[in-house]
């Protein structure tokens, strides 16, 4: 069985480098190309060599990158947030797009637990904490969590050096609180979820699927 050929857009970034290492270490995947302005390698130059592209770039380039992929018949797995992916929901070519606000499996579990708890607790608020260079605020993970939970859930954003990706959901009711927290201390936490999506994106059926929960809990 031939390996899936995987390209990484944003390959020079911290997450991009972790994804490249993860692809390299997987027996069933082949790192077919690294695209990044810092490497003087545009996405277009690697598309012909790829079955799937993983995008961890910027909100202002992610949609353009994804459309270029699907129109070229290349599937795309997107970890960039802060842009409207709606055009990808319409069939643009032979490629599929998979987008997740967070690829850490623990973060997906945190969201699932928070959604369930919100059915029983009176109110909740979210605190999301990320590195000072993160461009979107609030994070895609926090917005997705709030959308899934019961009621109106305010979000508080913190941007500080030294952080990676952290989220706390605090739920309150009479005489009690419940806190659900997830911490990514290293960007390698995203790699297993990204590789899962890379292996599944070709068979997802729809032009666009959003959320790693769709792969982890398909019957939920």
Query: Whole-angstrom Cα distance, residue 158 to residue 160?
Result: 6
Catalytic residue among 75, 112, 119, 134: 134
What is the C-alpha R_g of the chain? 18
Lookup: tokens for 122: 């009176």
Residue with tokens 């690829």: 103
Query: Whole-angstrom Cα distance, residue 40 to residue 22?
Result: 22
The counts of H helices and E strands in the chain are 6, 10
Query: Whole-angstrom Cα distance, residue 150 to residue 81?
Result: 23
- Evaluate the CA torsion angle 8, 13, 16, 20 in order and state its sign: positive
SS3 call for 63: helix
- The yes-or-no answer on residue 156 being catalytic is no
Beta bridge partners of 172: 123, 177
- The yes-or-no answer on residue 130 being catalytic is yes
Burial class (CB in 10 A: 0-12, 13-18, 19+), 104: buried
Catalytic residue among 75, 130, 166, 182: 130
* Residues forming the active site: 130, 134
């Amino acid at each position: 069985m031939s390996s899936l050929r995987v390209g990484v857009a944003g390959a020079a970034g911290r997450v991009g480098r972790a994804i490249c290492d993860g692809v390299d270490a997987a027996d069933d995947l082949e790192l077919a190309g690294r695209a990044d302005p810092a490497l003087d390698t545009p996405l277009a130059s690697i598309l012909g060599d790829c079955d799937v592209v993983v995008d961890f770039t910027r909100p202002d380039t992610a949609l353009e990158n994804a459309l270029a992929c699907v129109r070229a018949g290349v599937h795309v797995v997107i970890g960039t947030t802060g842009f409207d992916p709606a055009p990808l929901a319409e069939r643009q070519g032979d490629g599929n797009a998979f987008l997740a606000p967070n690829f850490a499996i623990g973060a997906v579990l945190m969201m699932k637990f928070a959604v369930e708890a919100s059915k029983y607790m009176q109110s909740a608020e979210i605190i999301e904490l990320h590195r000072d260079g993160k461009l979107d605020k609030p994070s895609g993970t926090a917005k997705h969590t709030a959308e899934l939970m019961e009621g109106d859930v305010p979000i508080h954003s913190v941007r500080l050096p030294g952080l990676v990706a952290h989220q706390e959901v605090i739920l309150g009711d009479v005489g009690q609180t419940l806190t659900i927290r997830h911490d990514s201390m290293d960007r390698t936490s995203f790699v297993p979820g990204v590789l899962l999506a890379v292996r599944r994106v070709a068979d997802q059926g729809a032009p666009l699927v959003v959320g790693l929960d769709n792969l982890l809990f398909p019957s939920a």
